Amino acid sequence: GENVGLHLPTLSVQEGDNSIINCAYSNSASDYFIWYKQESGKGPQFIIDIRSNMDKRQGQRVTVLLNKTVKHLSLQIAATQPGDSAVYFCAETYELSGGGADGLTFGKGTHLIIQP
Amino acid sequence: NAGVTQTPKFRILKIGQSMTLQCAQDMNHNYMYWYRQDPGMGLKLIYYSVGAGITDKGEVPNGYNVSRSTTEDFPLRLELAAPSQTSVYFCASSLTVKPYEQYFGPGTRLTVT
């Protein structure tokens, strides 16, 4: 998991503000980049993914940006809500040696704290 | 659907003991995965399976074994537990070959002392 990293271990934002969580990756051959959300005591939950041939993808209140030139990935969360409090992980795909599926390399995570 | 279920939620093992972590999914997913998550870190893949009867090693397989006799179940076996295996273990499943939309279970917190 050391190939995919996040710039900040903790990010604190005011409720209602926009949040931007950043991630640097190293594997230029990754097909997909993914963001997961992990609430305390739970397993990770898929948020959004982006294919390597795209620059931007939007979901509901979330946008992922991919800059392949500098190997940078970001997750933007609009109008942050208390329920957005969680640890956010970026992940990139890699080819598993056994074939048939791809593995995921996870970063260390950014803890998003929402201030009331 | 219950999704992905894991048992037990917590377990304390002594060094050298063995145990099996259970994982089951009711979504008819072919692909299943076992990860471990150490404190403050991302997840690392231990083993995965692309279908019943087929398993393969991930990034950190040493000290673990798996089997996949049915589509639904994917147990993880720890033989001769060591303190380095203290971690939170997550099972996941996915419908398609691309792994990004994996569905995770709630995890098993294992302590080896």
Q: What tokens appear for A92 in the block?
A: 């990139």
Mean pLDDT of A3-11: 67
Mean pLDDT of B88-112: 89
- Across the interface, do B90 and A43 touch by the CB < 8 Å criterion? yes
- pLDDT tens-place string over residues B7-16: 999 999 999 9
Asked if residues A107 and A7 have their Cβ atoms less than 8 Å apart, the reply is no
Mean pLDDT of chain B: 93
Query: Is the C-alpha dihedral spanning B104, B108, B112, B113 positive or negative?
Result: positive
Instruction: Pick the more confident residue, B96 or A63.
Output: A63
C-alpha to C-alpha distances, B21 to B34, B58, B67, B74, nearest whole angstrom: 10, 17, 11, 9
CA separation for the pair B43, A106 (Å, rounded)? 6
How does strand A10-14 pair with strand A110-115? parallel
Instruction: Please give the share of chain A, as a percent, with pLDDT higher than 90.
Output: 67
* The pLDDT of residue A98: 67
CA separation for the pair B98, B30 (Å, rounded)? 12
* The pLDDT of residue A1: 33
Instruction: Pick the more confident residue, A103 or B29.
Output: B29
* The pLDDT of residue B66: 98
Asked if residues B15 and B55 have their Cβ atoms less than 8 Å apart, the reply is no
Is residue B76 within 8 angstroms of chain A, CB to CB? no
Please provide the size of chain B in residues.
113
B49/chain A closest Cα distance in angstroms: 9
* The pLDDT of residue A3: 45
A33/chain B closest Cα distance in angstroms: 8
CA separation for the pair A70, B87 (Å, rounded)? 33
- pLDDT tens-place string over residues A32-76: 999 999 999 899 999 999 999 999 999 999 999 999 999 999 999
Q: What tokens appear for B83 in the block?
A: 């303190």
User: Amino acid identity of B50?
Assistant: V
Instruction: Pick the more confident residue, A75 or A109.
Output: A75
Mean pLDDT of B30-56: 92
Give residue A10's Cα distance to chain centre: 14
Give me the residue from B44, B48, B101 closest to A46, CB to CB: B101
